[in-house]
Amino acid sequence: MNKRLFKQLLISFLIGVLVLSLSGCQRIGNFYFSTSLTDTYLAAGHKTSLTTREANLIFMDYQTRYNAYYSRSGIENFWELPVSGYTFSDYLKEKRIKEEICLLLLLNDMAKDSGITLDETEKRLCGQAAKTYYSGLNEIERAYCQAQESDVASLYEKYRTAQKLLYQLTDGIYLEISDNDKRVISIQILSTDNLDLANQLHEQLQAGGDFVQAAREHSLLSKIEYQVSRGMLNPALEEIAFYLADGEVSEVIATDGRYFLIRCVEDFDEELSIANEEEIYRQSLYEQWGPIVEEYAAGHKISFQFDLWSEMTFTMTSAMTNANLFDVYDQYLKTNE
């Protein structure tokens, strides 16, 4: 299971958070730095802790990735955009990152309870990966995270330990996914509540009319083209759509009080189908390990140092450019799985 698969398996757990109150942060320019980091833990399970320096590495990676993405998109002040009752900054922090940290610590605690440890080869690879990553940080990035190479290695070891536990929990799973199950198709859909109009448009399209133009002029749907896999469409539409060949237009389909026409753009999108196969596999793996981890989480709280956590923040900056924390990790450890 590589880093992308591991990170995509992160889910929202019903975790009781015991809030601790410790101090020790100061602000320098636009960035927050902890002042006493050697023995300062941002979060802790009952056997595993995450230092502020390790957490800073995670925050910096997220910050750099999103700054780069939105800068290319030309969107300004994106950190303050509203998302589900939060600013985007707070949503990323309180939902995505906190959940990732909680799961990381829970899995490490579970691994220690199960006697799972890293061997010398894995520790060496984590160290090599840490050296590569740390050597690529610029002066501002090192000042921001205040981490040393050993902190990167420690964080990498936690992710590797979590992976080893997931390997054990999913050991022996074999899933053969058929082309039909994983297939993603690209289709265009036109919908109307007028049967006569639907029949008229069908005749025009059969005679070579432009589907997109017809949809723009007559469809009740705001969108024309869709990429869909099994289970995403109304069954009445799915049964027709998945048997159309490239360029073929369906008969008029009546369902839910409307009339639909479907045109197949591509009956097998290879790239999206491969991604869908991975998603099906991820879901199958989660069905194996998810309930086990959730049961464990119900009785094991993750504690956060409130003052330190409240000071962790994001800012618009082009000074930090290294977003390779997990890419470097994957380079060294994916071949040793």
282 with 216, same domain: the answer is: no
In a domain, 63, yes or no: yes
Judge whether 247 lies within some domain. yes
Provide the pLDDT for residue 18.
24
Over the chain, what HEC string results? CCHHHHHHCCCCCCCCEEEECCCCEEEECCEEEECCCCCCEEEECCCCEEEHHHHHHHHHHHHHHHHHHHHHHCCCCHHHCEECCEEHHHHHHHHHHHHHHHHHHHHHHHHHHCCCCCCHHHHHHHHHHHHHHHHCCCHHHHHHHCCCHHHHHHHHHHHHHHHHHHHHHCCCCCCCCCHHHHCEEEEEEEEECCHHHHHHHHHHHHCCCCHHHHHHHHCCCCCCEEEEECCCCCHHHHHHHCCCCCCCECCCEEECCEEEEEEEEECCCHHHHHHHHHHHHHHHHHHHHHHHHHHHHHCCCEEEEHHHHHHCCCCCCCCCCCCCHHHHHHHHHHHHC
Tokens of 120: 């010398």
Same domain, 164 and 193: no
Q: Is 238 among the domain residues?
A: yes
CB contact at 8 A, 120 and 328 = no
By the 8 A CB rule, do 108 and 117 touch? no
22 and 154, same domain (yes or no): yes
Last residue of a domain, one of 267, 289, 323: 267
Looking at the fold, whether 147 and 290 belong to one and the same domain comes out as yes
Task: Please check whether residue 2 lies inside any domain of the structure.
Answer: no
* 244 lies in the same domain as 122: no
Each residue's pLDDT tens digit, 18-49: 222 222 333 333 333 333 434 478 888 889 99
Q: Which domain holds residue 138?
A: 14-172+276-336
Look over the chain and give the mean of its residue pLDDT values, rounded to a whole number: 82
Distance, in Å, from the CA atom of 74 to the CA atom of 203, rounded to the nearest integer, reads: 44
The residue out of 267, 298, 323 marking a domain boundary is 267
Q: How many domains does the chain have?
A: 2
| Model confidence band, residue 176 (pLDDT cutoffs 50, 70, 90) | low
At residue 293 the predicted structure's pLDDT band, cuts being 50, 70 and 90, is: confident
pLDDT reported for residue 8: 43
Q: Is the pLDDT of residue 174 over 60?
A: no
What is the Cα–Cα distance from 219 to 210, expressed in whole angstroms? 13
pLDDT for position 71: 81
* 132 and 253 belong to one structural domain: no
Report if residue 9 sits inside a domain: no
* 150 and 226 part of one domain: no
- What the block records as the tokens of 298 is 């119900």
Chosen domain end from 214, 245, 267 = 267
Whether residues 163 and 193 fall in one domain: no
pTM higher than 0.75? no
- Are 165 and 20 in a shared domain? yes
pLDDT band for position 177 (cuts 50, 70, 90): low
Are 192 and 306 contained in the same domain?
A: no
pLDDT tens sequence across 218-273: 999 999 999 998 888 999 999 899 999 999 999 999 999 999 999 999 998 878 87
**CA 287 to CA 46: how far, in whole Å?**
25
Residue 245 lies in a domain: yes
Domain assignment present for residue 130? The answer is yes
Q: Assess whether 127 and 235 both reside in one domain.
A: no
pLDDT in tens, 92-134: 998 889 888 988 999 999 999 999 999 999 999 999 999 999 9
